[in-house]
Each structure stands twice: as structure tokens, then as C-alpha cells.
Amino acid sequence: MLKGYFQYIVSFSKKSIGLLLFLICSYAIYNQVFSNDNSIQYQSILHQLIFKIPLNQWFVLLLLMISNFLIESIKWRLVVSSNNSISILKAVKGVLVGQTFAFFTPNRIGEYAGRTLYLEEGKKLMGVSQLAWTSYAQLLITIIIGSIALALNIGYYNSINGSLLIVVNIVLPIIIILSVSLFFYKYEWKGRLHFLNILQIDTRSKLYLLTLSFFRYFIFLLQYAWVAYMLQMQIDFISLALSVAILFLFLSILPTISITELVVRGQLLLLILAPFCHNKMMIISLSSLIWSVNFLLPSIIGAILLLGYRLNR
């Protein structure tokens, strides 16, 4: 009887922790999105734009979001499959819950903890280490394409000169070469650290990760282009794509958290798109909608999945 009572307390405690985590995540999302001054000033204009957009266009944007997270889930499943039996459904859940944790942690570091919830017991720490490969692959694509875009568009930004030109023309190519070399270099650990060799993945898997990361990056660009079309912005695809690539490059460097990234992303996009689009409200609306679809909505879904996960434990 005492054992059964103890198990009931443990079960209730786990469920209570799950509910508490859900409430914390939900409050953080609500507090930062709906209660800050930067969001309130956009609400009126967004309200007018949103209700003029046909339902089928929203559906296409939703499909792009699903494709985005599906590719990321495949990448995640690929790197942990060597020691974790995880279905694609669990991988998707892990990515979405990770998105919730990343929503209010610096540099999205909470994403690591969120994803490991769906891994096998005793293998979670290894999963955290393996996640670095997916992040590294996506970062490589971001740096490479962003650097090329910055080099092509640098003539539009008069403020970039002198030492900044040296960074663009010399430092960034060196960083790219070193990063790619480090990504493909396979170091064999020996002695007491030989156990770290299990974290390595083969070259074929690395190429697969880079390919998937490129497709995911292209989907990001399509999302921006599609939202610009939804908002009837007068800007060509090439100019928008190059500008967004530069935006991603800067965002990968700047230390932010998802709940503050809405403001940072909006301000950067205003500066980067200034030579191509003079309607600031449209640019802010573009940034806000993309942020809502790629960060806010998945974080809410992840919070619900987190609650379900804790209740089922």
C-alpha cells in the first residue's frame, strides 16, 4: 500500500512538473509576443493585411513550414540513428519540443535539452553531442551562401568600407575554408578519450547532412519570397533572396534568443532591404509573419507536445 502511494506521488509530481513547464513556456511566449511594445505597434497594420490574404496562400505557407521541420527531423534522426532507435514521428516531436525550449534560451541552447526527451534513457547525453553535427551543417550552408550574397550585394551598402571590406573579401573566405575542412576532418581519439570516436559520423552522412541543410535553407528563402508575394511587396526574388541570405549570416553571428529575435530580425531586415524596398511597414510585416510561422507556431505546438509527454510519463 505504501509502495502504491509512493508511486502515485511520483506520478503526480511528474505530471505537475510537465504542467509547470507547459505554463512557463506558454507564459514566456505570450509575455514576449503579445505584451511588448514592439509587437503592439505592428498589430493594427498586420490585422489589415492578414484578413486580406486568401486561405490557399496561408496553406502554402503552412506546407513550407512543415517541409522545413520535416527536413530538420530527418537530419536529427540521421545523426542519432547509430545508437537510438527513433521513428520519424518521434524525431518531429523532438524537434518541435526543442523549438519550445529554444524559444527563451540564449542562442537556442535549450533546443538540445528539448530534443533529447524522445531519446532512449542512458543515450541522451550522446544525443546532445550528436546534435552538433546537424547544427554545424546548417551553419556551414548559412555562412557559405551568406558570404556569397554579401559579396554580390556589397555595392548597395555604402556604410561597408575599409576594414569591413577586408572582413568580407578576406576573413570570410578563410573562415569558410577552415570551417569546411574542420567539418570533414575525422580525428581519431586515442587513450582515455577513445570513447569520443563514437560521436563521429562518416563522410557520406556529412554530405547527406549538407544536402538536407541546403534544401532547408532554400525552403527558408521560399518562405520569405512567398510571404512577400502574400503581402504584395514590390521586390524581385533575386534581391530578396540575397538580402535574406545576408540576414541569416548576421543572425548566425549575433547572440540572440528566439523571443527577442523578432525585434533583431526586423531591424536587420530594414537595413538590409533598404536599397530594394522603401516600405518599412511591409518589411516589418514580412519579418513578423516569418518569425511567427517558423518560431512562434512551432513553439506553441512544442509546448503542447511537452505537456503530453510529461502526462504520459
**Which pLDDT belongs to residue 258?**
56
The answer as to whether 282 is a domain residue is: yes
How far apart are the C-alpha atoms of 5 and 10, rounded to whole Å? 9
Residue 33 has pLDDT above 60, yes or no: no
The answer as to whether 69 is a domain residue is: yes
Residue 39 has pLDDT above 70, yes or no: no
Domains in the chain: how many in total?
Answer: 1
Alpha helices (runs of H) in 117-202, residue ranges in sequence order: 124-153, 163-166, 172-184
**Phi/psi of residue 276, nearest 5 degrees:** -115, -20
The answer as to whether 11 is a domain residue is: no
The answer as to whether 27 is a domain residue is: no
The answer as to whether 21 is a domain residue is: no
Residue 36 has pLDDT above 60, yes or no: no
Q: pLDDT tens, 67-101?
A: 999 999 999 888 887 777 778 888 888 888 888 88
**Residues 266, 285: contact at Cβ < 8 Å?**
no
Q: Running DSSP on this structure, what letter comes out for residue 36?
A: S
Residue span of the structural domain in which 193 resides? 38-308
**Which pLDDT belongs to residue 70?**
93
The answer as to whether 4 is a domain residue is: no
The answer as to whether 24 is a domain residue is: no
**Which pLDDT belongs to residue 5?**
47
The answer as to whether 3 is a domain residue is: no
Q: Is the pTM value of this prediction over 0.75? A: yes
Q: pLDDT tens, 129-142?
A: 778 888 889 999 99
CA 295 to mean position of chain CA atoms: 7
Task: State the chain's mean pLDDT as an integer.
Answer: 76
